[in-house]
A and B are shown apart, each in its own frame.
Chain A
């Protein structure tokens, strides 16, 4: 079995395309705060969802670990933020590290069991543990206020203005991207990728596959927890719905929309998802129906996601350009072939 080339040694044209799309997306994503109001709300939703989905995408694309339980980390982060802010104080240096730590702690405690399984089993077990968190959030009324959720969460101190919060969220997204792109190039990332392709061989070579997976799982959970905490401060309330499996499913859809093997894919995926959601949910109360159809369509026709389709289009365009430079006949032939 061939080991994949390290991420950094991909063809240059692809990287340029990726950087270009990334800059364009970042530019677009920075537009909403200028307008404020509803578009700022959508912008924050997009960035927090993108941060969570990017964390999940790291597991899916490089670890081969398809979790359908990331809602647990999101919800834990959100509830940690809600409880700390309402009981102690909305200080970012308290709320965000604790949100990350609680999510990572849950990931470590459950990952010991879930990471022993593979593929579908891993997916089911992560789903089951997330559902446990969901049920606890409903039933442990003394702590979580049950089905009423927790409302009146104050703004994060220093980031009460949502434009500042938006900046902070983008900062986390950029930091997450930088961290993950270093991680996938690092020995840990390489071992993860190798184990995804052939676990027995990676183990036989002596790599501590389980420990690496557990560590990356916890890291992914921590960033998802921060995303959940930021979302809680943005909305001002949390509800057991934050733990619901549809939240996990949406993150997976966003990863899939963006392309499984592109770290920045979830940014595009989240932008598309939030745009479609806000458009559709304003017109129908059966928005999940369209989400379902979108998901089925994405799987049937959209292999590689938007990132994959964009990459193909870019490669096709540059091939046409090269051929066109050689002469009109060759250019026409190239266009006909493409």
Chain B
């Protein structure tokens, strides 16, 4: 029965990683840079959700407000700083600036919410375990799996079936050509960035009943998101999805069999994928 629990644990953790990795991958696809502040947006989402729950007493409101705050911060960051660094050959500058933003977020959240570990219980009606015979499993991870699947479906529809999605795909495929053909690449990038960090913030809120909030969590999640994105292939939503599930399951079964070396196993997986397919499982080409 613990294998079944590990399966659901792995899937729900994988869905969280997908929420993070999808945003990171989208931003990379369009902007060609890695947002090192992505984990920071995850914990901002978490702290906003925590505060909303404490002040208004409603967890689901947090799920709405967290991503909105995250998206707004993403827009602000793009308008104030990142906009000035758009363009080819400035990737390093973008990475350094987002590293700076990550440091700022880490200390600002510590100043705002303190360094204590914060945790919340699962919201009703998902606070009771499901019991089938003598097997019982908490309900909330299933909610995370549902949210992950929903976001995956909506993202797929957005990218494949809407005009904005077509613009995002065009800008990701060939920014210069897209611009020549009349795609406003700078606003598209800004929108993608806001969407990506909003997804990270959503992940932070959704994760709240499963993972306690603490300083350092931002970097931990950023790193796992990077692993997911590299394994899946940069710029590919489907790649991020399957890679996130793979990493999530490696983590949960690793904890079951080799609790000391879970993280080493995840990196072993990364190394294996890189040897076998340097561009990631679903990556199209080495950039």
Interface residues of B in 9-50 (CB under 8 A from A): 28, 32-34
What is the CA–CA distance of A234 and B187 in the complex, to the nearest angstrom?
51
Answer whether residue B7 sits at the interface, using C-beta atoms and an 8 A cutoff.
no
Answer whether residue A315 sits at the interface, using C-beta atoms and an 8 A cutoff.
no
Q: List, in ascending order, chain A residues with CB within 8 A of B223's CB.
A: 127-128, 131
Interface residues of B in 229-282 (CB under 8 A from A): 230, 234, 260-261, 263-264, 267, 270-271, 274-275, 278
Number of A interface residues in the complex (CB < 8 A)? 39
Interface residues of A in 294-309 (CB under 8 A from B): 294-296, 298-300
Contact in complex: B34, A123 (CB < 8 Å): yes
Answer whether residue A73 sits at the interface, using C-beta atoms and an 8 A cutoff.
no
**Which one of B66-74, B84-92, B174-182, B202-210 is at the interface?**
B84-92
Minimum distance in angstroms from B112 CB to a CB of chain A:
10
What is the CA–CA distance of A245 and B106 in the complex, to the nearest angstrom?
13
B90 — nearest CB in chain A belongs to which residue? A299
B263 — nearest CB in chain A belongs to which residue? A135
Contact in complex: B96, A252 (CB < 8 Å): yes
Answer whether residue A121 sits at the interface, using C-beta atoms and an 8 A cutoff.
yes
Given A119-B91, A296-B97, do A128 and B226 touch, yes or no (CB 8 Å)?
Answer: yes
Contact in complex: B264, A289 (CB < 8 Å): no
Contact in complex: B267, A292 (CB < 8 Å): no
What is the CA–CA distance of A245 and B108 in the complex, to the nearest angstrom?
18
Contact in complex: B278, A132 (CB < 8 Å): no
Minimum distance in angstroms from B217 CB to a CB of chain A:
14
Contact in complex: A292, B264 (CB < 8 Å): no
Contact with B along A250-286 (1 / 0, CB 8 A): 0011001000000000000000000000000000001
Q: List, in ascending order, chain B residues with CB within 8 A of A123's CB.
A: 34, 95
Answer whether residue B127 sits at the interface, using C-beta atoms and an 8 A cutoff.
no
Given A120-B91, A125-B274, A135-B264, do A286 and B96 touch, yes or no (CB 8 Å)?
Answer: no
Contact with A along B79-114 (1 / 0, CB 8 A): 001001100000111011101111110111011000
Interface residues of A in 116-130 (CB under 8 A from B): 116-121, 123-125, 127-129
Q: A249-B99, A291-B103, A296-B100 are in contact. List 13 more A-B contacts (CB 8 A).
A: A120-B28, A120-B287, A121-B286, A123-B95, A127-B226, A128-B230, A128-B270, A131-B267, A288-B106, A289-B104, A292-B107, A294-B100, A296-B97
Chain B residues close to A by CB (< 8 Å): 28, 32-34, 81, 84-85, 91-93, 95-97, 99-104, 106-108, 110-111, 219, 223, 226-227, 230, 234, 260-261, 263-264, 267, 270-271, 274-275, 278, 286-287
